[in-house]
């Protein structure tokens, strides 16, 4: 059991969860602050959300008391709100900032679970997506400044959600590698960098180039539609009226020459019906959506039931420029109680490792024997940790909440004397 790889990957997933929740709350804050032109939201508001989230995860990982964790993050939230809003704006903005960060703290804890569960994150995503759709009501107040931040926030939200689902799924089925964690960390740094002032000009330049390219592609599609479908409709219309067909250019010219003339004019009115532009943009948007769905399916993990277990296969098939690879693992991801037992047992192994009592090659029985030489009067607790862990790992049946509670209590008792 590679406890170091699992712990590192566990932290990566928790970091992605914090980033995902911070971006969601940042989008909400942009919409709420948008009707208040005297106060602009910025990168400082995004960074404080990440800091509060990371701090909560760190204190939870260190198993500090929940009340102490809440007290610390509320104190930091209050200090931040006073410094940046009371002194800089007014007490009303200070209170609003404090309350929004408080809401973020509460929902971060509400939806945060000690175990890594891909199904939980999927359900959470559905709830947050609905809330973001409802936030469209505030879009009428947005200025170009907020739109710039909002565009980057939605892009970061999408990237972080995809990464969270993928990494949580890979963690549950032990499909992790050190290189993958490094790449995920790079993605996280890139997402944060997107909101820095330095990145604004770069993104604006990219958006400008993409906008011109999109306009050109839409113009070409609209022109093609006009000189194919549009000409047919025009002839039918003239035929019904009984008049001669009047074409916008010399009929002796073929369609390609007509398109060249139209594009050369650089005038949207040259494509005689603006509805073809609307249709062209619709085709482009639908094509992009279908492409994203295609890529998502190609990179998704197939789930196959086999003998009561879940077999997971990573699909990167039929993509010529990608190296084909498949990873297979077995495990029942739907049993949350088993996942909780694994969480507590990993924490136990970390305690043993810090004391020099655990090596990667050891079995659970060997770990129990080594720890027994270090502490006394905890034989029953060590037995529970070892036996329930083996049952969770090797059995096909689900485990009840009582066994999870027993493992949790046993871990806490061992921790008191193994620190």
Distances (CA, A) of 150 to 46, 139, 276, 304, 321: 12, 10, 30, 39, 33
39 lies in the same domain as 143: yes
Last residue of some domain: 140, 168, 195?
Answer: 195
Name the percent of the chain lying above pLDDT 70: 74
What's the structural domain count of the chain?
3
In a 3-state reduction of DSSP, which class is residue 243? coil
Full residue range of the structural domain in which residue 241 is found: 210-298
Residue 32 forms part of a structural domain: yes
Q: Is residue 331 situated within a structural domain?
A: no
Together in a domain, 286 and 258: yes
Q: Which of 169, 195, 221 is the last residue of a domain?
A: 195
Least confident of 255-264, 376-385, 395-404, 408-417: 255-264
Whether 75 and 187 share a structural domain: yes
Domain identity same for 187 and 217: no
Please check whether residue 310 is in contact with residue 331, taking contact to mean a CB–CB distance below 8 angstroms. yes
* Same domain for 227 and 190: no
Q: What is the pTM of this model?
A: 0.60
Cβ distance 156 to 50 under 8 Å? no
Distance CA 155, CA 162 (A): 11
Residues 149 and 224 reside in one and the same domain: no
Residues 216 and 175 in one domain: no
- Neighbouring residues of 393: CB distance < 8 A, sequence distance ≥ 6: 342
> What mean pLDDT, rounded, does the chain reach?
76
Residues 139 and 58 in one domain: yes
Of 61 and 315, more confident: 61
Phi and psi torsions of 314, nearest 5°: -90, 125
256 falls in which pLDDT band (50, 70, 90)? very low
Question: What integer is the mean pLDDT of 170-194?
Answer: 77
**Cβ atoms < 10 Å from Cβ of 208:** 10
Query: Is 24 among the domain residues?
Result: yes
At 2, the pLDDT band (50, 70, 90 cuts) reads low
d(CA 15, CA 7): 12
- Are 179 and 253 found together in one domain? no
Residues 6+ apart with CB under 8 A from 362: 370
Rounded CA separation 320/98 (Å): 51
Work out the average pLDDT over 246-274.
49
Distance from C-alpha of 366 to C-alpha of 383, rounded to nearest angstrom? 12
Query: pLDDT at position 25, please?
Result: 93
Q: Do 9 and 155 have their domain in common?
A: yes
Q: Do 167 and 237 belong together in one domain?
A: no
> What's the confidence (pLDDT) of residue 103?
92
Question: How high is the pLDDT of residue 87?
Answer: 66
pLDDT at residue 170, rounded to an integer:
81
CA 367 to chain centre: 36
Q: Are residues 173 and 79 in the same domain?
A: yes
Q: Which has the minimum average pLDDT: 108-122, 128-142, 328-342?
A: 328-342
């Amino acid at each position: 059991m590679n406890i170091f790889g699992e712990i590192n990957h566990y932290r990566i997933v928790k970091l992605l969860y914090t980033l995902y929740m911070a971006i969601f709350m940042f989008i909400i804050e942009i919409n709420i602050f948008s009707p208040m032109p005297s106060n602009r939201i910025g990168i400082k508001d995004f960074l404080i959300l990440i800091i509060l989230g990371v701090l909560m995860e760190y204190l939870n990982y260190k198993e500090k008391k929940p009340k102490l964790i809440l007290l610390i993050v509320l104190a930091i939230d209050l200090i931040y709100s006073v410094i940046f809003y009371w002194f800089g704006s007014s007490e009303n903005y200070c209170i609003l900032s404090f309350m929004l960060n408080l809401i973020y703290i509460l929902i971060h804890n509400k939806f945060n679970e000690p175990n890594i569960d891909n199904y939980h994150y999927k359900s959470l995503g559905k709830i947050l997506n609905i809330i973001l759709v409802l936030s469209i009501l505030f879009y009428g107040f947005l200025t170009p400044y907020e739109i710039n931040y909002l565009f980057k926030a939605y892009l970061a939200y999408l990237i972080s959600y995809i990464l969270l689902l993928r990494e949580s799924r890979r963690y549950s089925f032990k499909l992790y590698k050190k290189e993958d964690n490094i790449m995920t960390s790079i993605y996280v740094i890139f997402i944060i960098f997107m909101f820095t002032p330095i990145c604004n000009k770069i993104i604006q330049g990219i958006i400008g180039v993409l906008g011109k390219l999109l306009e050109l592609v839409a113009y070409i599609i609209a022109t093609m539609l006009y000189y194919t479908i549009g000409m047919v409709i025009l002839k039918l219309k003239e035929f019904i009226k009984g008049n001669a067909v009047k074409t916008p250019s010399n009929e002796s010219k073929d369609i390609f020459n007509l398109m060249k003339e139209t594009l050369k004019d650089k005038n949207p009115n040259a494509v005689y019906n603006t509805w073809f532009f609307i249709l062209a943009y619709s085709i482009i948007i639908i094509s992009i959506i279908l492409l994203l769905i295609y890529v998502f399916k190609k990179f998704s993990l197939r789930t196959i039931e086999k003998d009561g277990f879940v077999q997971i296969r990573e699909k990167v098939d039929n993509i010529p420029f990608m190296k084909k690879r498949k990873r297979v693992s077995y495990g029942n991801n739907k049993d949350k109680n088993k996942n909780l037992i694994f969480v507590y047992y990993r924490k136990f192994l970390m305690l043993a490792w810090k004391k020099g009592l655990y090596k990667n090659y050891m079995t659970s029985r060997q770990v129990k024997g080594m720890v027994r030489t270090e502490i006394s009067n905890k034989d029953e607790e060590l037995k529970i940790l070892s036996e329930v862990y083996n049952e969770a790992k090797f059995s096909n049946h689900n485990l009840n909440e009582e066994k999870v509670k027993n493992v949790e209590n046993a871990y806490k008792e061992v921790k008191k004397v193994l620190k």
